């Protein structure tokens, strides 16, 4: 497994936009298909938005200054996107997506990000090590079939 790139950034208001620009650049350099870049960007946007909005709310519980680190690895079969942060512990893999709404009139905004991530990724894994969250998103050729 080859490490393609890494990025460290603070969990501020520009973190998501910076991370998405970085991932698009990595995808271009690695010559990923547009669909691969799209689905990884969508999943990164969802995960990182939640980390930035909720993971660092309680600064007293945080392990030092906020820090987010992204690492992309690739081999012939898989692309791994690792997100490390020192925010509050949270395991998104243990959450169930909320039920789909029955109609547009009943629809509420939010709560479907995990469903979207499970749709586009081969695997999502979480672990807490010391004071650090580690979310690993795995994409691969098997996930390329079908429409976006």
What is the sign of the dihedral through the CA atoms of 33, 11, 61 and 53? negative
Tally of domains in the chain? 1
pLDDT at 21: 98
Query: Distance between CA atoms of 105 and 45, rounded to whole angstroms?
Result: 26
Q: What is the pTM of this model?
A: 0.82
pLDDT at 56: 87
> Which of helix, strand or coil describes residue 20?
helix
pLDDT at 148: 44
Which tokens is 36 given? 């691969």
pLDDT at 114: 81
Q: Are 137 and 124 in contact (CB under 8 A)?
A: yes
Which tokens is 84 given? 């490390």
CA distances for 106 relative to 100, 116, 141, angstroms: 10, 20, 36
**What is the mean pLDDT for each group of 10 consecutive residues in the chain (148 residues)?**
95 94 96 93 94 81 79 95 94 70 58 77 95 94 48
Domain of 30, in residue numbers: 2-144
Q: Which residues of 101-112 are buried (b: 16+ CB within 10 A; e: fewer)?
A: eeeeeeeeeeeb
Task: Classify the phi-psi angles of 110: left when phi > 0, otherwise alpha if psi is within -120 to 50, otherwise beta.
Answer: left
Which tokens is 141 given? 């050729």
Query: What are the residues whose beta carbons fall under 8 Å from the beta carbon of 39, sequence distance 6 or more?
Result: 120, 121, 139, 143, 148
* CATH number of the domain where residue 77 is located: 3.30.565.10
Query: Distance between CA atoms of 10 and 56, rounded to whole angstroms?
Result: 10
């Amino acid at each position: 497994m080859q490490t393609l790139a890494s990025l460290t950034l603070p969990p501020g208001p520009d973190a998501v936009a910076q991370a998405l620009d970085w991932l698009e650049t990595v995808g271009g350099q690695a010559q990923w298909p547009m669909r691969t870049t799209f689905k990884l960007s969508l999943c990164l946007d969802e995960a990182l938005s939640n980390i930035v909005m909720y993971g660092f709310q309680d600064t007293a519980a945080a392990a030092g200054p906020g820090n987010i680190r992204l690492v992309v690895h690739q081999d012939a079969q898989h692309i791994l996107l690792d997100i490390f942060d020192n925010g509050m512990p949270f395991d998104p893999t243990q959450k169930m997506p909320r039920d789909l709404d029955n109609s547009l009139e009943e629809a509420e905004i939010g709560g479907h990000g995990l469903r979207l991530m499970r749709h586009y990724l081969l695997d999502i894994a979480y672990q807490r090590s010391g004071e650090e969250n580690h979310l690993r998103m795995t994409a691969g050729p098997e996930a390329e079939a079908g429409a976006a």
